[in-house]
Amino acid sequence: MSDARLRLALQRPGFTLDVDLPMPADGITALFGPSGSGKTTVLRCVAGLERARGSVRVAGETWQDDAQRVFLPPWRRAVGYVFQEASLFPHLSVRGNLAYAQRRAAGGPDIALDDVIALLGIGHLLDRNTHDLSGGERQRVAIARALATRPRLLLLDEPLAALDPARRGDVMPWLERLRDEVRLPMLYVTHSADEVARLADTVVLLEDGRVRAHGPLAATLARADLPFAREEEAAALLQGRIGAVDAHWHLARVDFDGGALWLRDDGVPTGRAVRVRVLARDVSIAIEPAQDGTTSIQNILPCTIAGLSASAHPSQVVVQLQAGGSVLLARITSRAADALRLAPGQRAWAQVKSAALVR
Ligand SMILES: Nc1ncnc2c1ncn2[C@@H]1O[C@H](COP(=O)(O)OP(=O)(O)OP(=O)(O)O)[C@@H](O)[C@H]1O
């Protein structure tokens, strides 16, 4: 059995945590929410570093169950913990740090150390002193060290936040590999919408210590009742595959449930699963199909209006568009929505001005 569920309740002056969360057996669950909403507290309670009331079940193991008076101390919980600043042992080399972690292996799924080293691309760093590493390298070693303890759950608390944007971009593909190649549930705290879009499978939105929303990534980002859709960078996420490449025009076609989009060809091979991010501000709406050859917009998708909701500014509305099994968001002026008499159920065409591969 590999179920995982967290039920945590905790009271501090001015703050109450009260969460009940099923967790997927693998993949990245992003914990997202304003500062002080309780993200780090959830991680600390799961690791046993802090004591909440409730229960913590991970991969079929019970780490806490108040009803049965079970509370395992942190060292008996098979968690790997990665923090914002990698806390590597300064007196040990990279190899020494990994060997130390391996000796403390916790009994989770066996991942050979060589595989961990290859997965994170740190083979050439093994004999290096840890303070000679770049920030991005330190984080990769920190993740490898966490994996070397054979955890059943990986906790990552803003692992990229201390890196500059370029270094963050360098480490992101390693996290994607981790997500795709290691069957391990991961709880990932972040403030970055980019990291959520690129890495998460499931999103949990925490507000004031409570779960405001919880669900699969694409569906949750597109929900009109959540703050995601109202942000300046509001975007829909489409999950698809590279269906074709037009070598002459350097374009790649991404096929998804609901249509296809032509994007800049970034060399991703045909057949590869990809995520595409479409910003709400880059989508406009037509209520008649465009005549061939009358618009510069290449990507026009037939869809149905699913709903309209307020935007951050009253001059604009966010329109949810259902295209097959996918949802797009369009941010348009309230005046345009009124002039077109947009209403749920109406047939429409989403004109996508630009879209980008997230990976
Ligand atoms: N050691 C502590 N003692 C008392 N209160 C604390 C402690 N740590 C955190 N808090 C409070 O508990 C609440 C939740 O904090 P937590 O660090 O979990 O939030 P967060 O969502 O991780 O925030 P951030 O995004 O800023 O890291 C906040 O009100 C915070 O001030």
pLDDT tens figures, 274-294? 999 999 999 999 999 888 778
Residues 6+ apart with CB under 8 A from 125: 94, 133, 137, 141
Cross-strand pairs, 212: none
Mean pLDDT (whole number) for 267-276: 94
Can you give the pLDDT at residue 2?
44
Can you give the pLDDT at residue 85?
84
ipTM for the complex? 0.96
Residues 6+ apart with CB under 8 A from 44: 50
DSSP assignment letter at 257: T
Mean pLDDT (whole number) for 79-93: 89
Atom number in ligand 1 closest to CA 206? 21
**Which residues contact ligand 1 via a Cβ below 6 A?**
12, 15, 33, 35-41
Q: Name the pLDDT band for 174 (thresholds 50, 70, 90).
A: confident
Q: Tell me the per-residue pLDDT of 127-165, one tens digit each, with 9 for 90 and over.
A: 999 988 999 999 999 999 999 999 999 999 999 998 888
Mean pLDDT (whole number) for 260-279: 94
Residues 6+ apart with CB under 8 A from 194: none
Cα of 41 to ligand 1 centre, how many Å? 6
- Position 272 pLDDT exceeds 60: yes
What proportion of the chain, given as a percentage, has pLDDT over 70? 99
Quickly tell me which residue has 């993949």 as its tokens: 27
Cα of 50 to ligand 1 centre, how many Å? 12
Atom number in ligand 1 closest to CA 41? 18
Nearest to 86 by CA among 101, 65, 71: 101
Identify which of 18, 40, 42, 83 to mutate to test ligand 1's pocket (most ligand atoms within 8 A of the CB). Answer: 40
DSSP assignment letter at 115: H
The tally of CA atoms less than 13 A away on the side-chain side of residue 240 is 31
Q: What is the largest CA-CA distance in the chain?
A: 71
251 CB-contact burial (10 Å; exposed 0-12 / middle 13-18 / buried 19+): middle
- Position 256 pLDDT exceeds 50: yes
- The residue whose CA has the least distance to atom 5 of ligand 1 is 12
Can you give the pLDDT at residue 359?
62
Identify which of 11, 15, 84 to mutate to test ligand 1's pocket (most ligand atoms within 8 A of the CB). Answer: 15
**Other Cβ atoms within 10 Å of 260 Cβ, number:** 13
What proportion of the chain, given as a percentage, has pLDDT over 90? 71
Mean pLDDT (whole number) for 214-227: 90
Q: How many Å apart are CA 186 and CA 328, to the nearest integer?
A: 27
| Token couple for 344 | 């749920």
Q: Tell me the per-residue pLDDT of 31-46, one tens digit each, with 9 for 90 and over.
A: 999 999 999 999 999 9
Q: Name the pLDDT band for 220 (thresholds 50, 70, 90).
A: very high
- Position 16 pLDDT exceeds 80: yes
Query: Do residues 333 and 253 make contact, with C-beta atoms less than 8 angstroms apart?
Result: no
Q: How many Å apart are CA 320 and CA 305, to the nearest integer?
A: 6
Cα of 40 to ligand 1 centre, how many Å? 7
